[in-house]
Amino acid sequence: MPAWSQKNGGPFDEEQIGALVSYILIWESVGPILIPPTPTFIPREILTPPPDVTGDPVEGAKLYDQNCLVCHGPYGQGRVGATLAKDWPSIRPDLEIKATIERGVTGSVVPAWGQE
């Protein structure tokens, strides 16, 4: 299991960890209480695709929020996953990123998202 506290590189602050501990400990007396998750709204500005890159960045933002945000943070700054908000040093960074998304990262928990 990865570290979840911010001081160890995780996404949770001390208050959030305390809330989780409290929730888990009440299971001893009343059992788990299932609260349906609600989406976290992150306002997005109007996005214009980069030159020579196909794809709808607004749809990409939605997919990112649903599938990537939890590990990579809302702006790609990294959490338990790598920092994505960086310069991608290659001739075609779009193809490098696409290949990584499609194939995943061998030896890590990053799944392959491409369909075969």
d(CA 58, CA 60): 5
- Comparing 43-47, 58-62, 94-98, 100-104, which segment has the lowest mean pLDDT? 43-47
Q: What global pTM score does this model have?
A: 0.56
114 vs 71, which has greater pLDDT? 71
Residues 6 or more apart whose Cβ sits within 8 Å of residue 23: 33
Give dist(CA 101, CA 81) in Å, integer.
13
Do residues 3 and 10 touch, judged by C-beta distance below 8 A?
yes
Q: Give the residues across from 12 on adjacent strands.
A: 5
Map tokens 């960086």 to a residue. Answer: 86
The better pLDDT of the pair 84, 23 is held by 84
Contact 72, 78 (CB under 8 A): yes
Whole-number average pLDDT of the chain: 76
The pLDDT score that the predictor gives to residue 116 is 53
Amino acid found at 74: P
- Looking at residue 2, its pLDDT comes to 62
Residue type for 19, please?
A: A
What is the mean predicted confidence (pLDDT) over 69-76? 85
Longest CA span, the chain: 59
